[in-house]
Amino acid sequence: MESKLSTGTTTVGFIVKDGLVLATERRATMDYFIAHKVAQKLYEIDRYLGMTTAGLVGDLQVLVRYMRAEAALYRLKNKKYMSVKAATTMISNILNQTKYMPYYVSLIIGGWDTTGYHVYGIDAAGGAIEDRYVSAGSGSLFVYGVLEDSYHEDMTLDDGINLAIRAVNAAMKRDSASGDGIDVAVITEKDGFVKIDDEEIKRRMKKLKILL
């Protein structure tokens, strides 16, 4: 079980002074084989809610569809957006109910609601823990090394984007299951979920002196 649940991916989410940052890389592997170089691991669930995914692609895609549908239904029925805690509880219940034939996933859910910004790490059995920063996947050890050294709660959104790029890049350099580009999104009370375009990420990498 443990070997199957070791997800070959790097994902991260953390809260900053004026928003929340989510980031992943793009490589999908099958053992030592690089199966895809354009895998999507960063998703908008609703305007103020995002999710990163690590694990089996089929399981992850199904869970993203579930969450998007449930968030939309909640918004239609209640005339408001689902809170981050409610979304986390829902996905945790789905995972826990199938723990004997589990989804092989490790998730991060983050977003904004009327109580502020929140980010949760969620394991395959449905365990959910809220923190200021969370990383998942085989590259998470390298991400945590960067975050422990450089993260602080008062950093700006702009600095947070740069930190996410640095952290994922560090994992890509040392984790063979991570690579082939970086995806970053931010969530703010004003603008909701906004994905950073590739050219902006390349510009920031150049400024940070990170080799492409």
- Tell me the percentage of the chain whose pLDDT exceeds 70: 89
Q: Is 9 a catalytic residue?
A: yes
Q: Which pair of tokens denotes residue 8? A: 């070959």
Question: Using an 8 Å Cβ cutoff, are 110 and 50 in contact?
Answer: yes
Q: What's at 209, amino acid-wise?
A: K
Question: Using an 8 Å Cβ cutoff, are 170 and 144 in contact?
Answer: no
| Domain boundaries of the chain, sorted by first residue | 11-207
Which strand (E) or helix (H) includes residue 34? strand 33-36
Tokens 């580009």 correspond to: 181
Give the pLDDT score at 147: 96
Closest among 25, 12, 5 to 144, alpha carbons compared: 12
Phi and psi angles of residue 151, each rounded to the nearest 5 degrees, phi first = -75, 140
Alpha helices in the chain (DSSP H): 57-78, 84-97, 140-150, 157-174, 198-207
C-alpha 10/C-alpha 170 separation (Å) is 10
Closest among 171, 211, 186 to 54, alpha carbons compared: 171
Give the pLDDT score at 2: 37
Question: Using an 8 Å Cβ cutoff, are 45 and 68 in contact?
Answer: yes
Q: Are strands 49-55 and 105-113 parallel, antiparallel or unpaired?
A: antiparallel
pLDDT beneath 50: ranges in the chain: 1-6
What is the distance, to the nearest Å, from the Cα of residue 120 to the centroid of all Cα atoms in its chain? 9
C-alpha 107/C-alpha 135 separation (Å) is 9
Give the pLDDT score at 212: 60
Name the catalytic one among 7, 9, 53, 88.
9
Rounded (5°) CA angle 29-129-103: 40
Give the pLDDT score at 5: 43
Give the pLDDT score at 22: 98
Q: Tell me if the domain spanning 11-207 has CATH number 3.60.20.10.
A: yes
Q: What is the pTM of this model?
A: 0.90
C-alpha 182/C-alpha 149 separation (Å) is 21
